[in-house]
Amino acid sequence: MERDIILAPSLLSADFTRLGEEMAALEEADIKWAHLDIMDGMYVPNITYGPVMVSALRKKSNLFFDCHLMVEQPERYVVDFAEAGADLICVHAEATKHLERTLSHIEDQGVKPAVALNPATPLEMIKYVLPQCHMVLLMSVNPGFGGQMFIPFVLDKIRELREMIDKAGCKTLIEVDGGVTPENAENIVEAGADVLVSGSAFFKFPPYKKRHELFLFLAKNKFGPTGL
């Protein structure tokens, strides 16, 4: 089956001393999505940045802002991130008590709702909300840090989710986040992913345009024209 593949570089591995320039360089490399990792030091051990940073970046960039909230009770911050300029807000199913309510709340702000699942969290958690989700993010590392190794059993999980989505007849995208490299991108896409997040394997290998092309070339081998 032919489908569009999107590469979403994770800013966690960008140069934080010159983020404005990094954003411009992504656009020059024909990148369409930026993956923004929001960590609160509670849901995950690490702390990154919040809505103030997203709002500053929004002034510098027209990219699609894919905001991955690794935050306890993320519903508390939905309005803040929506006002800051998020295009999509992704919450962890494990971090919110009323997932359906949180997704509806995101949608009410005019932002695309998405759910993330940690590697060990079963797909069953999202079965009933699937049609409400613009995207499901499957973590392929335990969240909190960039530069970790891809956990191999997640490939089976991607396949199962692909089946669930196709069976339900919905258009929900599958994003895979953690340890994605040009070497494993082909298998991840073959298993059913639409969106590949890449931090360290992207930003450490400029020029970005070449790196983007390499990722997409590998996906394109089997899946025809990409959306980029």
Residues forming the active site = 37, 177
Of 29 and 137, which has the nearer Cβ to Zn ion? Answer: 137
* CB 100, min distance to Zn ion, A: 23
Of 75 and 175, which has the nearer Cβ to ligand DX5? Answer: 175
Q: Which residues of this chain interact with Zn ion, rule CB under 5 A?
A: 37, 68, 177
Q: State how far the Cα of 64 lies from the Cα of 66, in Å rounded to an integer.
A: 6
* CB 142, min distance to ligand DX5, A: 8
Please name every residue paired with 139 in a beta bridge, in sequence order, or none if there are none. 177
- By a kind-dependent CB cut-off of 5 to 8 A, residue 146 interacts, out of Zn ion, ligand DX5, none, with ligand DX5
Of 40 and 177, which has the nearer Cβ to Zn ion? Answer: 177
Q: State how far the Cα of 228 lies from the Cα of 219, in Å rounded to an integer.
A: 12
Residue 222, both tokens? 């089997």
At CA 75, angle to CA 69 and CA 76, rounded to 5? 100
* CB 124, min distance to ligand DX5, A: 22
Of 178 and 182, which has the nearer Cβ to Zn ion? Answer: 178
- By a kind-dependent CB cut-off of 5 to 8 A, residue 13 interacts, out of Zn ion, ligand DX5, none, with ligand DX5
* CB 137, min distance to ligand DX5, A: 8
Q: State how far the Cα of 35 lies from the Cα of 197, in Å rounded to an integer.
A: 7
* CB 143, min distance to Zn ion, A: 7
Number of other CB atoms surrounding residue 20 within 10 Å: 12
**Residue ranges of E strands in the chain:** 6-9, 33-39, 64-70, 88-92, 112-117, 135-139, 173-177, 195-198
- By a kind-dependent CB cut-off of 5 to 8 A, residue 41 interacts, out of Zn ion, ligand DX5, none, with none
Of 73 and 200, which has the nearer Cβ to ligand DX5? Answer: 200
Please name every residue paired with 31 in a beta bridge, in sequence order, or none if there are none. none
Closest to 69 in 3D by CA, of 101, 113, 20: 113
- By a kind-dependent CB cut-off of 5 to 8 A, residue 144 interacts, out of ligand DX5, Zn ion, none, with ligand DX5
Q: State how far the Cα of 226 lies from the Cα of 6, in Å rounded to an integer.
A: 8
204: CB partners within 8 A, 6+ apart:
13
Q: Which residues of this chain interact with ligand DX5, rule CB under 6 A?
A: 10, 12-13, 35, 37, 68, 141, 143-148, 177-180, 197-201
- By a kind-dependent CB cut-off of 5 to 8 A, residue 12 interacts, out of Zn ion, ligand DX5, none, with ligand DX5
